[in-house]
Each structure stands twice: as C-alpha cells, then as structure tokens.
Amino acid sequence: MPLDAGLLGDLAGIVGPHHVIVDPAIRAGYEVDWTGRFRGRAGAVLRPGDLAETAAVVELCRQHGIGLVPQGGNTGLVGGGVPADAAYDVVVLSTRRISWIGDPDAVPGQVAVGAGTTLAELQRALGRAGAELGVDLASRDSATVGGMAATNAGGMRVMSHGTMRAQVTGIEVVLGDGRIVSQMRGLSKDTSGYDLSGLVVGSEGTLGVLTALRLKTIQLAERRAVAMIGVATIEAAVEIALGLSRDRDAGLRAAEVVRGATIERTCAARGTAPPYEGRHDWHLLVECAGNLDPLPAMARVLGDHAGLIGGSALAGEGRQLSEIWAHRERLTEVLARLGPPRKLDVSLPLAAMGAFVEGGAAALGRLVPGAEMHVFGHLLDGNLHLNVLGVPDDAGEAVDGALLRLTVDAGGSIGAEHGIGRAKRQWLHLVRPPDEIEVFRRVKQAFDPEGILNPGCLLPDPLPA
Ligand SMILES: Cc1cc2nc3c(=O)[nH]c(=O)nc-3n(C[C@H](O)[C@H](O)[C@H](O)COP(=O)(O)OP(=O)(O)OC[C@H]3O[C@@H](n4cnc5c(N)ncnc54)[C@H](O)[C@@H]3O)c2cc1C
C-alpha cells in the first residue's frame, strides 16, 4: 500500500512539499544502489534540511510504524542505503540537504560538518585552510561524511590515519525513538561514560540518523609522489611497502595492490595501457607525502628492492601522478561497467593473502568455470576487494559462501570497510558468535526500540522461535 495521503501531508509540513518525493521516476534513483544489484521500493523519499526536521520526521515515522532507510551519497557497496524490497511502508531519508561546513579554525585540528556534505566538498574547504581529512576515498565526489561515518569507511590512508572512526570526535544523531544525542563540544578528552559515537559509527544507519559530525583534520601534505610497481607475488608487494613504511624520509601514506589480470582487463576496457611493459602477477601502487619532496627517498628504497621489481613508474605532483592513481581509482567503476560483479570486501592477516587469493581463484573455478576473480585493495591493511565477474545469479550465494568461508578459515573478516549491509547479513554468523549477535540486538533495541531504522540491514533475521 502506498503511504497514506494524510501522513504524506504531515511529512510535507515538516520538510516542505518539494522535499517529499513520491514521483516514481525521481524516486527510482534513490531506490537502487550504486552497484545496481540492490533495489527496493520506498513510499517516499524525504529530504530534511536540518536536525529539527530530521528529528520530527523520525518521530512521525515512529508513530506510524514506518521504516526509515538513511541515505547519503548512495555510493555504498553492500546495499545498506536502499530499501530491502518492494515495501511501501519504508521511506528513504536522504541527508544530502544537511550540507554545511563549520569554520575549520574554530577548534584547532577539528571541523564541524553537516552529515550530508560530500567528502570532496569538505576536502575543498579544508584545502583552502591548509588542512585535509585523514580519510580519502575514490567515491569522494558523492560519498557524504555521514555515510562514511555510518559505514566506518576506510580508503587509501588507513595505514597512516585510521578509519573514519579514528577521525570522529563528536556526533549529532537522531535515534530511532526520536531522541537527539549531541556530542559536538569538540573536547579532546572526555571519559564521562559510554562512547555512544563509537557505537553509532559503523552502525550502517541501524541505530540513528547522523545529522552532524565533528572530525579531526590533519595538515595538508605539501609534496606528494607516487610509484606503481610490477611484482611477481603479493608477498613481494608487502616487502616493498613495508620497506617504504620503515623509511622516515619516504613518508608512506598509501599502499594499494591490484592483481595483474585486473589491471589488464580494466586497462583494455578503458582503452589505456599499463604504465610499464611486461606482464606482472601483481601491481603495487604507493603514495608518499610530506613537507619535503618524497621522491628521492622513495627512489632510494625502491632501488634497495630492485631484485623484486619487474617494472615501475614514478611521478611527482602533476598529470602523471593522477594518471598513475587512475589505474587504481577507476577500478570500481570500470568493473561495475563490465559486471555488475559480485563484490566481497574482506580483511586478512598480511601473511595469508597470497594463499587466500590462490585458494579463492581455485574454488571459484570449480564452482563457475570461466568466472573471473578480480582483486585489488589496501595492501598494508590486509584489505582485499574481490570482484567476481561472470557468476550467474543462481550460483551467487554458493560463490559468496565459498569465498567468505575461505576468508574466515584464513583468520580474516568478511567485512573490512564497506560494512555488512544487506549483502552479507546472512553471513554475519561466520565472524560473530551467537552471544555477540544477541548483544548487537540489545544495543539495537536500546537505540531503536521499535526497529524502524534501516530494517533488513546488518542484523540477520532472528531464527524462528
Ligand atoms: C568508486 C567507489 C570507491 C569506493 N572506495 C571506497 C574505499 O576506498 N573505502 C571505503 O570504505 N569505501 C569505499 N567505497 C564505498 C562507499 O563510498 C563508502 O561506503 C561511503 O562511506 C558511503 O557513503 P555514502 O554517503 O554514499 O553512504 P550511502 O551509500 O548513502 O549509505 C551507506 C550506509 O550508511 C548509512 N547512512 C548514510 N548516511 C547516513 C547518516 N547520515 N546517518 C546514518 N546512517 C547513514 C546508510 O543507511 C547505509 O547503510 C567506494 C565506493 C565507490 C562507488
């Protein structure tokens, strides 16, 4: 049943009639996720403009038993930001209008920001003040800071600055029962009780709707340099990256890895060539940054590892640097065009990655001969993104199950930085014992007693009594 006209009128009274979207053609963009794999139907899309409107919308939906799916930039890769199915008794709550950036100089080393602000918008504003955020993602033009906090996003610089959780020093959030929790004072130290922001960060919209955040900032690095290197094994890539991370002058801040077959496939699709000759089983992309030019230290460390290096390209600031980064940053988009792929984002002990990829490719070959396992990721975080092409829908669950079980057997986690969402909630039991899932349910009950926030996301359905 579509939403009741009286309720739609009351919602329009809160957010304004232009910000209650019921037209199916406009709604459609909010009902399908970035990958195109997850779609549902919402009774309406609501676009509140601030905290008060958000709290009033949540309270009204609570009174009417309407589920709410918080959505930021809709770049999530596990289906958590769109409705689960064709259920009209769910609305999408888009935070994109809650976009503002506080004075970066008001509290040293911090900035207050509206949850619907995109990362790129924040980066531009901080850049003008000589600062930047410790987290960076290729989806920066659309991903919002609220969505990044809700997924505890990682990205390219976790090895030096941590995930989104490490950047958050305060939140403003509307809980499922309409309560507002605001911890935006910007105190560097506060041990007065439970860390509610720590719980909301990474909760994927199931505990509250974030309307504002206070984030740590870091000094903008003045000089950058990148290198892309062809190597024979992932172990060699780790050895080189660790060599750079130990060198104080190099200032390593990103170490990305891409499987050789993945570079070849995506370069062909983009009509471009890899940055050096020859076929290599793995490619390592490293970025160093600091106030002095990191290129000489970088070249010296790479020289020390010459025996492991099959081909390489180095670049300081400029077009060549962006072209090298494009080999890594365009992967998600290009593989999406070739697919959609089945996407699995896993983390593993560094020493287990090589055997895991070999075992995963062999298992895939047995299940779906001819399917392609493309692999890239954040090397020193042990975080690999598996993108499997050529899997028919009816084999999808078997493929996911096999690869996720291999992950757990190798001592890893089935969710590294994209979250659990709708994609992996039925696999949560592989990494979380029943007692922990029960504690999750109790936390959910405390924040969202009527279960209206993001139904069908993160938590598995309870077992039948
Ligand atoms: C090209 C590309 C590259 C990417 N690279 C990375 C990467 O390197 N690292 C990484 O971690 N991720 C990456 N991602 C995934 C994605 O960009 C991140 O998960 C990002 O944090 C999602 O932000 P969003 O605003 O788009 O959130 P959405 O997709 O809109 O939502 C994601 C989840 O957060 C919840 N949510 C959104 N806003 C709020 C809010 N205000 N309050 C409460 N809950 C909310 C939603 O309900 C949903 O569960 C990439 C995606 C793409 C398309």
Mean pLDDT score, 148-165: 96
Nearest CA to ligand 1 atom 9: 155
In angstroms, how far is CA 100 from the centroid of its own chain?
21
Question: What's the pLDDT score for residue 106?
Answer: 80
Q: For residues 378 and 263, is the Cβ–Cβ distance under 8 A?
A: no
Structure tokens at 378: 């954040």
pTM of the model: 0.95
CA–centroid distance, 33 to ligand 1, in Å, is: 10
Residues 298-318: tens digit of each pLDDT: 999 999 999 999 999 998 878
Taking 90 as the threshold, does the pLDDT of residue 84 lie above it?
no
Q: Which residue out of 77, 387, 457 has the highest number of ligand 1 atoms within 8 Å of its CB and is therefore the one to mutate? A: 77
What whole-number distance in Å separates Cα of residue 75 and Cα of residue 34?
5
Domains in the chain with CATH codes: 5-94 (3.30.43.10), 110-219 (3.30.465.10), 223-331 (3.30.70.2190), 339-420 (3.30.70.2740)
Distance 331 CA to ligand 1 centre (A): 17
Residue 142: per-residue pLDDT: 98
With the most atoms of ligand 1 within 8 angstroms of its CB, the residue from 151, 161, 346 to mutate is 151
Strands in 110-114's sheet, in edge-to-edge order, are 110-114, 208-216, 168-175, 180-182
What type of residue sits at position 4? D
Q: What pLDDT band is residue 275 in, cutting at 50, 70 and 90? A: confident
Q: What is the pLDDT of residue 3?
A: 86
pLDDT band at 221 (very low <50, low <70, confident <90, very high): confident
pLDDT-wise least confident of 21-30, 46-55, 100-109: 100-109
Averaged pLDDT for residues 226-232? 96
Spell out which residues line ligand 1, taking CB within 6 angstroms: 34, 69-77, 80-81, 95, 115, 137-139, 142-144, 146-148, 150-151, 153-155, 204-205, 209-210, 332-333, 417-418, 421, 454, 457
Residue from 178, 156, 162 nearest 56 by CA: 178
Contact 227, 313 (CB under 8 A): yes
Per-residue pLDDT at 222 exceeds 90: no
* Cα–Cα dist 280/275, whole Å: 12
- Binning pLDDT at 50, 70 and 90, where does residue 339 land? confident
Cα four-point dihedral sign 161, 162, 163, 165: negative
* Residue 391 scores a pLDDT above 60: yes
CA distance 407 to 63: 42
Task: Say if CB 153 and CB 417 are below 8 A apart.
Answer: yes
Average model confidence (pLDDT) for the chain?
94
How many Cα atoms within 13 Å fall on the side-chain side of residue 258?
26
CA of 143 relative to ligand 1 center, distance in Å: 6
pLDDT surpassing 60 at residue 88? no
